[in-house]
Amino acid sequence: MKQFLSKGQLSAAIIVTVLLVDQIVKILVKTTMYLHESIHITDWFQIFFTENMGMAFGMELVGKLFLTSFRIVAVVLIGWYLIDIIKRNLKTGYIVCIALIMAGAIGNIIDSVFYGVIFNESTNSQIASLVPIGQGYGEWFQGKVVDMFYFPIIDTYLPNWLPIWGGRHFIFFSPIFNIADSAISCGIIVLLIFYHKELGRAFKEDRRE
């Protein structure tokens, strides 16, 4: 049976789809919810609107400008690598993983580069809205990444008899994330589990060339 899409077309479709869904959800949340507002879906799943200046899952480790610049350089390198492995006709699943990682990285770059200049600030008492370019809450490359998916699968207090941590509030899986983060994580996890040999082989071929 003839393949419906070429590997290049499949990669492009994945990247465009992830970006569209990611940005639609982010803009919808940002323009309809107050900062830190929560929508209870189930006891273990909430839509919780938050923003962060850092890396995936809300981690803040380095300066914002450096982080955004690093992401852009990383996306350029991933894009070059994606084109290279498509030309070399590597396994479709491997290419899909790289496309997911690239799409997720671009998704968060869009927030970082543009959101600061096209949205006013989200607060606990103000819902953000689009504003003329340059009248937003920040500068170019200083935008905050929008996160919303929260899965407190276990939300409890540790037993008092437990040494050191006894009686403390404990939440299993507390990170709040977005679709772009999910795309990156899924791409990396599947890559490491199912395509680690392919990854090693691809880099060996790059070094020989």
Q: Is 43 a catalytic residue?
A: no
Measured CA to CA, the distance from residue 114 to residue 142 in angstroms comes to: 8
User: Quick one: pLDDT at residue 196?
Assistant: 81
pTM, whole model, 2 decimals?
A: 0.86
Which neighbouring-strand residues pair with 40?
Answer: 46
Q: For tokens 């543009």, what's the residue?
A: 114
Residue 132 above 80 pLDDT?
yes
pLDDT bucket at 156, cuts 50 / 70 / 90: confident
Helix, strand, coil distribution of the chain in percent, nearest 5: 50, 15, 35
User: Mean pLDDT in the chain?
Assistant: 89
- Answer yes or no: is pLDDT of 208 > 80: no
Of the candidate ranges 46-50, 63-67, 91-95, the one whose mean pLDDT is the lowest? 63-67
Q: Which of 22, 43, 111, 147 is catalytic?
A: 147
Residue among 18, 138, 142 nearest 68 (CA): 142
- Choosing from 22, 155, 181, 206, the catalytic residue is 181
Is 181 tagged catalytic? yes
**pLDDT at residue 163, as a whole number:** 85
